[in-house]
Amino acid sequence: MDITIVVPTFNEAPNIAELVRRVTLATAGLDAEMIFVDDSKDHTPEVIRQVASAASLPVRLIHRDEPAGGLGGAVLEGIAAAEADHCLVMDGDLQHPPEKIPEMLARARRQDVDVVVASRYMGDGTAGGLADRSRVLVSRASTLVTRAMFPIRLKDVSDPMTGFFLVDRRGLDIEQLQPRGFKILLEILARKTLRVAEIPFQFADRHGGESKASFRQGLHFLVQLASLRFGKMSGFAIIGGVGALANIAIVWALTAVGVNYIVAAIIAAELTIIANFLLIERFVFDDMRGQASGVGSRFAKSFSFNNAEALVRIPIMALMVSSGHVSSVIATAITLAVAFFVRFLFHSLVVYAPRRASATPSRAREIIQELDRQSVAPGEL
Protein backbone atom coordinates (compact mmCIF):
# COMPACT_ATOMS: atom_id res chain seq x y z
CA MET A 1 0.00 0.00 0.00
CA ASP A 2 1.27 3.50 -0.87
CA ILE A 3 -0.06 5.51 2.04
CA THR A 4 -2.21 5.36 5.17
CA ILE A 5 -4.04 8.52 6.22
CA VAL A 6 -4.46 8.59 10.01
CA VAL A 7 -7.19 10.89 11.30
CA PRO A 8 -7.66 11.29 15.07
CA THR A 9 -11.22 12.48 15.78
CA PHE A 10 -13.20 13.79 18.70
CA ASN A 11 -16.80 14.81 17.97
CA GLU A 12 -16.23 15.54 14.26
CA ALA A 13 -19.43 14.01 12.82
CA PRO A 14 -20.26 17.02 10.54
CA ASN A 15 -16.90 16.73 8.75
CA ILE A 16 -16.50 13.02 8.06
CA ALA A 17 -18.33 12.65 4.74
CA GLU A 18 -16.66 15.69 3.14
CA LEU A 19 -13.23 14.67 4.43
CA VAL A 20 -13.52 11.15 2.97
CA ARG A 21 -14.80 12.58 -0.33
CA ARG A 22 -11.86 14.95 -0.70
CA VAL A 23 -9.28 12.40 0.41
CA THR A 24 -10.71 9.94 -2.14
CA LEU A 25 -10.31 12.48 -4.93
CA ALA A 26 -6.83 13.51 -3.77
CA THR A 27 -5.55 9.92 -3.66
CA ALA A 28 -6.96 8.79 -7.00
CA GLY A 29 -4.39 6.51 -8.60
CA LEU A 30 -2.78 5.68 -5.25
CA ASP A 31 -3.19 2.54 -3.17
CA ALA A 32 -4.43 4.36 -0.07
CA GLU A 33 -6.45 3.76 3.07
CA MET A 34 -7.90 5.89 5.87
CA ILE A 35 -7.88 5.04 9.56
CA PHE A 36 -10.05 7.05 11.93
CA VAL A 37 -8.95 6.75 15.55
CA ASP A 38 -11.96 8.07 17.39
CA ASP A 39 -12.41 9.19 20.99
CA SER A 40 -15.81 10.82 20.40
CA LYS A 41 -18.69 11.10 22.82
CA ASP A 42 -21.23 11.86 20.09
CA HIS A 43 -22.40 9.88 17.04
CA THR A 44 -19.13 10.30 15.08
CA PRO A 45 -18.40 6.51 15.09
CA GLU A 46 -21.78 5.78 13.48
CA VAL A 47 -21.15 8.43 10.82
CA ILE A 48 -17.71 6.98 10.06
CA ARG A 49 -19.16 3.46 9.65
CA GLN A 50 -21.89 4.78 7.36
CA VAL A 51 -19.47 6.74 5.19
CA ALA A 52 -17.00 3.81 5.11
CA SER A 53 -19.64 1.45 3.76
CA ALA A 54 -20.06 3.61 0.64
CA ALA A 55 -16.46 4.83 0.21
CA SER A 56 -14.38 3.74 -2.76
CA LEU A 57 -11.18 3.52 -0.69
CA PRO A 58 -10.71 1.43 2.48
CA VAL A 59 -11.86 3.30 5.57
CA ARG A 60 -11.24 1.74 8.97
CA LEU A 61 -12.43 2.83 12.42
CA ILE A 62 -10.65 2.34 15.73
CA HIS A 63 -12.98 3.62 18.45
CA ARG A 64 -11.36 3.99 21.86
CA ASP A 65 -13.75 3.73 24.80
CA GLU A 66 -10.89 4.46 27.19
CA PRO A 67 -8.55 6.88 25.36
CA ALA A 68 -4.91 6.85 26.44
CA GLY A 69 -2.41 9.57 25.60
CA GLY A 70 -4.94 12.02 24.16
CA LEU A 71 -4.64 12.95 20.50
CA GLY A 72 -1.00 11.85 20.44
CA GLY A 73 -1.95 8.40 21.68
CA ALA A 74 -4.63 8.17 18.99
CA VAL A 75 -2.12 9.03 16.26
CA LEU A 76 0.35 6.40 17.44
CA GLU A 77 -2.39 3.78 17.61
CA GLY A 78 -3.34 4.61 14.03
CA ILE A 79 0.26 4.43 12.84
CA ALA A 80 0.71 1.06 14.54
CA ALA A 81 -2.39 -0.28 12.75
CA ALA A 82 -1.47 1.10 9.31
CA GLU A 83 -0.94 -1.11 6.27
CA ALA A 84 1.53 1.35 4.68
CA ASP A 85 4.89 2.52 5.99
CA HIS A 86 4.17 6.06 4.80
CA CYS A 87 1.63 7.38 7.31
CA LEU A 88 0.08 10.81 6.85
CA VAL A 89 -1.52 12.44 9.89
CA MET A 90 -4.18 15.11 9.52
CA ASP A 91 -7.05 16.60 11.51
CA GLY A 92 -10.66 15.69 10.86
CA ASP A 93 -11.96 19.25 10.50
CA LEU A 94 -10.66 19.94 6.95
CA GLN A 95 -8.35 22.72 8.07
CA HIS A 96 -5.64 20.50 6.59
CA PRO A 97 -6.31 20.32 2.82
CA PRO A 98 -6.35 16.69 1.54
CA GLU A 99 -5.23 18.00 -1.84
CA LYS A 100 -1.69 18.25 -0.39
CA ILE A 101 -1.45 14.49 0.16
CA PRO A 102 0.08 13.59 -3.25
CA GLU A 103 2.70 16.33 -2.94
CA MET A 104 3.68 15.19 0.55
CA LEU A 105 3.92 11.55 -0.54
CA ALA A 106 5.98 12.46 -3.61
CA ARG A 107 8.43 14.33 -1.38
CA ALA A 108 8.70 11.38 1.00
CA ARG A 109 9.32 8.98 -1.86
CA ARG A 110 12.57 10.73 -2.68
CA GLN A 111 13.86 8.73 0.32
CA ASP A 112 16.12 11.45 1.68
CA VAL A 113 13.86 12.39 4.62
CA ASP A 114 11.99 10.62 7.43
CA VAL A 115 9.28 13.24 7.97
CA VAL A 116 7.48 15.64 5.62
CA VAL A 117 5.96 18.54 7.54
CA ALA A 118 3.17 20.69 6.11
CA SER A 119 4.03 24.16 7.36
CA ARG A 120 1.90 27.26 7.82
CA TYR A 121 4.98 29.41 8.23
CA MET A 122 7.16 28.89 5.15
CA GLY A 123 6.80 29.75 1.47
CA ASP A 124 3.22 30.67 0.63
CA GLY A 125 1.83 28.90 3.70
CA THR A 126 -0.70 30.76 5.83
CA ALA A 127 -2.40 30.37 9.21
CA GLY A 128 -5.63 32.04 8.10
CA GLY A 129 -7.83 29.34 9.64
CA LEU A 130 -6.91 30.32 13.18
CA ALA A 131 -9.94 31.83 14.88
CA ASP A 132 -8.62 35.34 15.57
CA ARG A 133 -5.49 37.45 15.93
CA SER A 134 -4.94 36.27 19.49
CA ARG A 135 -4.82 32.63 18.32
CA VAL A 136 -2.33 33.60 15.61
CA LEU A 137 -0.18 35.36 18.21
CA VAL A 138 -0.31 32.38 20.58
CA SER A 139 0.58 30.01 17.73
CA ARG A 140 3.53 32.12 16.60
CA ALA A 141 4.82 32.58 20.16
CA SER A 142 4.48 28.86 20.94
CA THR A 143 6.40 27.99 17.77
CA LEU A 144 9.22 30.40 18.61
CA VAL A 145 9.52 29.08 22.17
CA THR A 146 9.50 25.47 20.98
CA ARG A 147 12.19 26.04 18.35
CA ALA A 148 14.30 27.95 20.89
CA MET A 149 14.14 25.02 23.31
CA PHE A 150 15.16 22.51 20.61
CA PRO A 151 17.52 24.55 18.41
CA ILE A 152 19.29 21.50 16.95
CA ARG A 153 16.50 19.03 16.30
CA LEU A 154 14.08 21.69 15.04
CA LYS A 155 16.57 23.79 13.08
CA ASP A 156 14.93 22.83 9.77
CA VAL A 157 11.34 22.92 11.04
CA SER A 158 9.40 26.18 10.79
CA ASP A 159 6.13 24.69 12.12
CA PRO A 160 6.78 21.98 14.76
CA MET A 161 3.28 22.58 16.16
CA THR A 162 1.43 21.47 13.04
CA GLY A 163 -0.80 18.41 13.10
CA PHE A 164 -0.39 17.83 9.35
CA PHE A 165 2.63 15.68 8.50
CA LEU A 166 3.77 12.46 6.84
CA VAL A 167 6.15 10.10 8.58
CA ASP A 168 7.93 6.95 7.47
CA ARG A 169 7.15 4.77 10.45
CA ARG A 170 10.23 2.62 9.82
CA GLY A 171 12.25 5.53 11.22
CA LEU A 172 10.23 5.74 14.44
CA ASP A 173 10.77 4.02 17.75
CA ILE A 174 7.13 3.95 18.82
CA GLU A 175 7.95 2.35 22.15
CA GLN A 176 10.12 5.34 23.07
CA LEU A 177 7.39 7.88 22.38
CA GLN A 178 5.31 9.03 25.33
CA PRO A 179 2.18 10.74 23.97
CA ARG A 180 0.68 13.01 26.57
CA GLY A 181 -1.01 15.73 24.58
CA PHE A 182 -2.04 16.98 21.18
CA LYS A 183 1.37 17.97 19.74
CA ILE A 184 2.50 14.54 18.61
CA LEU A 185 4.84 15.87 15.89
CA LEU A 186 6.82 17.69 18.58
CA GLU A 187 7.06 14.44 20.53
CA ILE A 188 8.34 12.59 17.44
CA LEU A 189 10.92 15.21 16.47
CA ALA A 190 12.20 15.85 20.00
CA ARG A 191 12.79 12.19 20.87
CA LYS A 192 15.03 11.32 17.93
CA THR A 193 17.03 13.14 15.30
CA LEU A 194 15.11 12.72 12.03
CA ARG A 195 15.57 14.09 8.53
CA VAL A 196 12.83 16.63 7.83
CA ALA A 197 11.49 18.34 4.72
CA GLU A 198 8.74 20.97 4.67
CA ILE A 199 6.12 22.00 2.17
CA PRO A 200 3.86 25.04 2.63
CA PHE A 201 0.10 24.78 3.08
CA GLN A 202 -2.74 27.16 3.73
CA PHE A 203 -4.46 26.45 7.02
CA ALA A 204 -8.16 26.62 6.17
CA ASP A 205 -11.27 27.52 8.13
CA ARG A 206 -12.94 24.71 10.04
CA HIS A 207 -15.56 22.96 7.87
CA GLY A 208 -17.98 22.14 10.69
CA GLY A 209 -18.20 21.60 14.43
CA GLU A 210 -16.33 23.49 17.13
CA SER A 211 -12.65 24.05 17.83
CA LYS A 212 -11.10 21.90 20.56
CA ALA A 213 -8.56 24.57 21.56
CA SER A 214 -8.76 25.37 25.27
CA PHE A 215 -6.81 26.57 28.27
CA ARG A 216 -6.50 22.93 29.33
CA GLN A 217 -4.79 22.08 26.04
CA GLY A 218 -2.47 25.01 26.57
CA LEU A 219 -1.46 23.63 29.97
CA HIS A 220 -0.99 20.20 28.37
CA PHE A 221 1.37 21.76 25.83
CA LEU A 222 3.46 23.59 28.43
CA VAL A 223 3.90 20.43 30.48
CA GLN A 224 4.69 18.38 27.37
CA LEU A 225 7.26 20.91 26.15
CA ALA A 226 8.96 21.18 29.54
CA SER A 227 9.00 17.43 30.07
CA LEU A 228 10.50 16.80 26.63
CA ARG A 229 13.22 19.38 27.13
CA PHE A 230 14.18 18.92 30.76
CA GLY A 231 12.45 15.81 32.04
CA LYS A 232 9.58 15.03 34.37
CA MET A 233 10.97 17.36 37.03
CA SER A 234 10.19 20.36 34.84
CA GLY A 235 6.51 19.41 34.54
CA PHE A 236 6.43 19.05 38.30
CA ALA A 237 8.10 22.46 38.54
CA ILE A 238 5.49 24.16 36.37
CA ILE A 239 2.66 22.87 38.52
CA GLY A 240 4.64 23.61 41.66
CA GLY A 241 5.25 27.14 40.39
CA VAL A 242 1.55 27.68 39.72
CA GLY A 243 0.80 26.30 43.18
CA ALA A 244 3.42 28.54 44.74
CA LEU A 245 1.90 31.62 43.09
CA ALA A 246 -1.53 30.55 44.30
CA ASN A 247 -0.11 29.95 47.78
CA ILE A 248 1.49 33.39 47.87
CA ALA A 249 -1.70 35.01 46.57
CA ILE A 250 -3.81 33.30 49.23
CA VAL A 251 -1.39 34.36 51.98
CA TRP A 252 -1.44 37.93 50.68
CA ALA A 253 -5.24 38.03 50.41
CA LEU A 254 -5.84 36.60 53.85
CA THR A 255 -3.26 38.76 55.63
CA ALA A 256 -4.67 41.79 53.81
CA VAL A 257 -8.02 41.24 55.52
CA GLY A 258 -6.42 40.78 58.93
CA VAL A 259 -5.83 37.03 59.17
CA ASN A 260 -2.70 36.07 61.10
CA TYR A 261 0.05 35.14 58.64
CA ILE A 262 0.58 31.69 60.19
CA VAL A 263 -3.12 30.86 59.91
CA ALA A 264 -3.09 32.22 56.36
CA ALA A 265 -0.08 30.05 55.51
CA ILE A 266 -1.82 26.93 56.85
CA ILE A 267 -4.98 27.58 54.82
CA ALA A 268 -2.96 28.31 51.69
CA ALA A 269 -0.88 25.17 52.17
CA GLU A 270 -3.89 22.86 52.49
CA LEU A 271 -5.64 24.26 49.44
CA THR A 272 -2.56 24.09 47.23
CA ILE A 273 -1.57 20.60 48.46
CA ILE A 274 -4.89 19.22 47.22
CA ALA A 275 -4.84 21.18 43.95
CA ASN A 276 -1.23 20.24 43.19
CA PHE A 277 -1.95 16.54 43.72
CA LEU A 278 -4.81 16.63 41.23
CA LEU A 279 -2.64 18.41 38.66
CA ILE A 280 0.42 16.19 38.95
CA GLU A 281 -1.84 13.13 38.73
CA ARG A 282 -3.12 14.34 35.39
CA PHE A 283 -0.15 16.09 33.83
CA VAL A 284 3.11 14.74 35.34
CA PHE A 285 2.79 11.19 36.64
CA ASP A 286 -0.04 10.03 34.40
CA ASP A 287 2.20 7.40 32.78
CA MET A 288 3.13 5.93 36.18
CA ARG A 289 -0.30 5.60 37.75
CA GLY A 290 -1.00 2.18 36.26
CA GLN A 291 1.90 0.52 38.07
CA ALA A 292 1.65 2.53 41.29
CA SER A 293 -0.64 1.97 44.26
CA GLY A 294 -4.31 3.03 44.13
CA VAL A 295 -5.39 6.65 43.93
CA GLY A 296 -6.50 6.68 47.56
CA SER A 297 -3.11 5.43 48.70
CA ARG A 298 -1.32 7.92 46.43
CA PHE A 299 -3.37 10.82 47.78
CA ALA A 300 -2.82 9.71 51.39
CA LYS A 301 0.96 9.53 50.88
CA SER A 302 1.08 12.86 49.06
CA PHE A 303 -1.23 14.65 51.50
CA SER A 304 0.55 13.28 54.58
CA PHE A 305 4.02 14.10 53.29
CA ASN A 306 3.10 17.60 52.18
CA ASN A 307 1.50 18.34 55.52
CA ALA A 308 4.55 17.00 57.33
CA GLU A 309 6.69 19.16 55.07
CA ALA A 310 4.45 22.14 55.87
CA LEU A 311 4.85 21.50 59.60
CA VAL A 312 8.58 21.91 59.09
CA ARG A 313 8.40 24.71 56.53
CA ILE A 314 5.94 27.01 58.28
CA PRO A 315 7.95 27.30 61.55
CA ILE A 316 11.03 28.06 59.47
CA MET A 317 9.04 30.71 57.63
CA ALA A 318 7.87 32.13 60.98
CA LEU A 319 11.45 32.25 62.20
CA MET A 320 12.49 34.11 59.06
CA VAL A 321 9.71 36.65 59.60
CA SER A 322 10.23 37.16 63.35
CA SER A 323 14.02 36.96 63.57
CA GLY A 324 15.20 37.75 60.07
CA HIS A 325 12.74 40.58 59.48
CA VAL A 326 11.76 39.06 56.12
CA SER A 327 8.25 39.76 54.82
CA SER A 328 5.79 36.86 55.04
CA VAL A 329 5.37 36.77 51.26
CA ILE A 330 9.12 36.55 50.59
CA ALA A 331 9.59 33.98 53.35
CA THR A 332 6.81 31.89 51.82
CA ALA A 333 8.45 32.04 48.39
CA ILE A 334 11.90 31.03 49.66
CA THR A 335 10.69 28.07 51.70
CA LEU A 336 8.49 26.83 48.86
CA ALA A 337 11.44 26.86 46.46
CA VAL A 338 13.47 24.64 48.79
CA ALA A 339 10.49 22.37 49.44
CA PHE A 340 10.00 21.78 45.70
CA PHE A 341 13.04 19.51 45.35
CA VAL A 342 12.12 17.44 48.40
CA ARG A 343 8.54 17.04 47.14
CA PHE A 344 9.69 15.88 43.71
CA LEU A 345 11.98 13.23 45.18
CA PHE A 346 9.25 11.90 47.46
CA HIS A 347 6.57 11.76 44.76
CA SER A 348 8.86 10.15 42.16
CA LEU A 349 10.33 7.55 44.47
CA VAL A 350 7.50 6.86 46.93
CA VAL A 351 4.04 8.09 45.87
CA TYR A 352 4.30 6.81 42.29
CA ALA A 353 6.73 3.96 42.89
CA PRO A 354 5.71 0.75 41.10
CA ARG A 355 4.16 -1.91 43.29
CA ARG A 356 6.94 -4.14 44.49
CA ALA A 357 7.48 -7.57 42.91
CA SER A 358 8.56 -10.59 44.92
CA ALA A 359 12.21 -10.24 43.89
CA THR A 360 13.70 -6.78 43.52
CA PRO A 361 17.15 -5.17 43.42
CA SER A 362 18.44 -3.30 46.45
CA ARG A 363 16.36 -0.31 47.47
CA ALA A 364 19.35 2.03 47.20
CA ARG A 365 19.94 0.97 43.60
CA GLU A 366 16.22 1.36 42.80
CA ILE A 367 16.24 4.91 44.17
CA ILE A 368 19.29 5.95 42.14
CA GLN A 369 17.98 4.41 38.92
CA GLU A 370 14.47 5.80 39.34
CA LEU A 371 15.67 9.30 40.19
CA ASP A 372 17.92 9.31 37.14
CA ARG A 373 15.07 8.11 34.89
CA GLN A 374 12.49 10.58 36.19
CA SER A 375 14.69 13.66 36.37
CA VAL A 376 15.67 13.73 32.69
CA ALA A 377 13.59 12.67 29.69
CA PRO A 378 15.37 11.34 26.59
CA GLY A 379 14.95 14.59 24.68
CA GLU A 380 17.64 17.00 23.52
CA LEU A 381 19.91 17.88 26.44
Beta-sheet pairing, 32-38 with 86-89 = unpaired
> Residue 107: what pLDDT?
96
- Average pLDDT, rounded, for the chain: 83
Query: Residue 378: its pLDDT value, please?
Result: 40
Q: Cα(319)–Cα(22) distance, rounded to whole angstroms?
A: 69
pLDDT at position 359: 47
Of the given ranges (90-99, 304-313, 329-338, 354-363), which has the lowest mean pLDDT?
354-363
Q: What is the pLDDT of residue 357?
A: 54
Domains and CATH numbers, the chain: 3-218 (3.90.550.10), 231-375 (no CATH)
Residue pair 116/166 in contact by the 8 Å Cβ criterion: yes
Q: Which of 162-171, 318-327, 368-377 has the highest mean pLDDT?
A: 162-171
pTM here is 0.61
In this structure, what is the dihedral angle of CA atoms 20, 218, 278, 345, given to the nearest 10 degrees? 120
Q: How confident is the model at residue 311 (pLDDT cuts 50, 70, 90)?
A: confident
- Check pLDDT > 80 for residue 137: no
Cβ proximity of 189 and 379 under 8 Å: no
Q: Which of 19-23, 243-247, 283-287 comes out lowest in average pLDDT? A: 283-287
Q: Answer for the pair 114, 168: CB distance below 8 angstroms, yes or no.
A: yes
Q: What is the pLDDT of residues 179-230, one digit of tens each?
A: 665 678 888 887 788 899 999 999 887 655 555 554 555 666 666 666 666 6
Contact 43, 15 (CB under 8 A): no
pLDDT at 373 over 80: no
pLDDT-derived band at 356, boundaries 50, 70, 90? low
Q: Please give the Cα distance from 215 to 304 (Å, whole number).
A: 30
Considering 162-171, 280-289, 341-350, 356-365, the range whose residues carry the highest mean pLDDT is 162-171
Characterise 69 by phi-psi region: left (phi > 0), alpha (psi -120 to 50), beta (else): left
pLDDT > 70: what percent of the chain? 82
At residue 295, does pLDDT exceed 80?
Answer: yes
Mean pLDDT for 159-167 is 91
Q: What is the mean pLDDT of residues 150-178?
A: 84
The predicted-structure confidence for 33-91, as pLDDT tens digits, reads as follows 999 999 988 899 999 999 999 999 999 999 998 777 778 889 999 999 999 999 999 99
With a pLDDT cut of 90, the percent of the chain lying above it is 38
C-alpha span between 7 and 38 (Å, rounded) = 8
pLDDT band per the 50, 70, 90 thresholds, residue 380: very low
Instruction: Identify the pLDDT of residue 227.
Output: 64
**Paired strand residues for 63:** 38
Judged against a pLDDT cut of 90, whether residue 349 lies above it is answered with no
